[in-house]
Structure 1
Amino acid sequence: MHSDTPAPTTTAGETGAGGPARLTVLAGPTAVGKGTVSADVRERYPDVWLSVSATTRQPRPGEVDGVHYHFVGPERFDDMVAAGELLEWAVVHGRNRYGTPRRAVEEQLAAGRPALLEIDLQGARQVRATMPGARFVFLAPPSWEELERRLVGRGTEGPEERERRLATARVELAAEPEFDVVIVNDDVHRATDELVRVMGIEPAPADR
């Protein structure tokens, strides 16, 4: 599903005013670069608020609790689910659980701040059910071969985990038609600029 109506734009460094903002959801297959694009948004467009997911998996090298993820134990995650504290949650790759803390998202949207939620396909479907007014963006690889190369090159998974993630990626790629907008991640800065345009922010000339 593709939207034909462009979002109203502001220049980089400005945010909309006068009412709640619209949530933008970024999803795509594993290793497509969702985290890299989100980090580029965080660095170059500080007015965009990025949701920080909770997860039961262990931190990867360089990841900081509260910045990249909220790393929690299984019991704490269970409590968050039971208390309705998560906007969405899912078991990813058949192993670890990820979820989006609801309160922070609602507070940022109510304040009128552009908000970006980077999640997996399962989570995106849950958000569509609970927040159908959100904007859904699918980040796609230039090709299957490039996606496989990125996953192997990342070097953070063993052979079995890599095959599991590739199998998941095949299923995730087939979900592309469910999204409002598709952005091909063939260049991080270009993909980031296209994403913020979709969010209604016009990149500054120096960022083009």
Structure 2
Amino acid sequence: MFEEKGILFILSGPSGVGKGTVRQRLFEQETHLKYSVSATTREKRAGEQEGIDYFYTTKEQFEAMIQNGELLEHAQYVENYYGTPRAYVEEQLEKGNDVFLEIEVQGALQVKENFPEGVFIFLFPPSLEELKNRIIGRGTESDELVRNRLKEAEKEISMMSEYDYVVVNDDVDQAVQKIKAVITSEHCKRERIEAEYKKILEG
């Protein structure tokens, strides 16, 4: 039997759509998935572990990684850098592990530029009204911030055409089942299997 390479799956969608909740529930059921560990320049917090929570770097090291094309995506929040190291992802894929990346829309579009062979899944709210209720339900944001987030969400929803699959998150368990179906169907794609079998036949 041929040794299949892993696949990079990218879950993305507007803020408040429930990416973290869906990803957590998925990982409870799909234990073979590897979570993509991010690099950051922020200080390590109590209880965090290198290579599990984050790869911790200095600002200089991080900027060198940007220059050398070692990140699939990166962004800066409150004076700290965050990004997805290419080496970790590629190493896991070579071992045959599927890697899962949960990320904001802008980051996902950067990943698409740098790693177009990834599988991009857009997590969609049942409605903008429901998205608004979820953001308000957090109870952490002012009216103005809620309005800004909704405006941003509308912009992000218009970028849906950049994705391979769309999953509506009206029920977490149903959303997880659909993502699991995407993972299975991607592994059954003819072009993935055909390329590996050609190597065997040529060998």
TM-score range, shorter chain: 0.7 to 0.9
Query: 2: CA distance between counterparts of 1:56 and 1:158?
Result: 28
Partner of 1:169: 153
Q: 1:45, 1:108 → 2: CA distance?
A: 16
Alignment of 1:183-198 (within 5 A): 183-198=167-182
Which residue of 2 is the match for residue 204 of structure 1? none
Aligned to 1:112: 96
Structure 1 pair 96/193, CA: closer, same or farther in 2 (3 Å)? farther
- Residue 49 of structure 1 is matched in structure 2 by 34
Moved more, 124-133 or 47-56: 47-56
- 8 Å Cα contact 1:25/1:117 also seen in 2: yes
The answer as to whether partners of 2:5 and 2:93 remain within 8 angstroms in 1 is yes
Q: State whether structure 2 residue 100 is matched by structure 1 residue 151.
A: no
In the other structure, the counterpart of 2:166 is: 182
TM-score (normalised: structure 2): 0.75
- Between the two proteins, what is the percent identity of the paired residues? 44
The answer to which structure, 1 or 2, has the higher relative contact order (CA under 8 A, 6+ apart) is: 1
Q: Is 1:85 the equivalent of 2:73?
A: no
Contact kept, 8 Å, 2:72 with 2:115, in 1: the verdict is no
Match of 2:121, SS state, is: strand
State the number of aligned residues.
184
- Determine the C-alpha separation between the residues in 1 that align with 2:137 and 2:53: 21
Choose the corresponding residue for 1:134, options 113, 118, 122: 118
TM-score normalised by L of structure 1: 0.73
| Max Rg structure | 2
Q: In the alignment, is the contact (CA less than 8 A) between 2:10 and 2:120 conserved in 1?
A: yes
Instruction: Report the residue type matching 1:189 in the other structure.
Output: D
Residue of structure 1 equivalent to 2:198: none
What SS does the corresponding residue of 2:96 show, helix, strand or coil? coil
Structure 1: 5+ residue runs without aligned partners?
1-15, 202-208
Q: 1:190/1:131 Cα in 2 relative to 1: closer, same or farther (>3 Å)?
A: same
- Pairwise CA distance, 1:58: 9.0
**1:103 Cα offset (Å):** 1.6
**1:8-87 to 2 correspondence within 5 Å?**
18-55=3-40, 77-87=62-72
* 2:10–2:121 CA contact under 8 A, matched in 1: yes
Greater fraction helix: 2
2:196 match: none
Does the 8 Å contact 1:17/1:112 carry over to 2? Answer: no
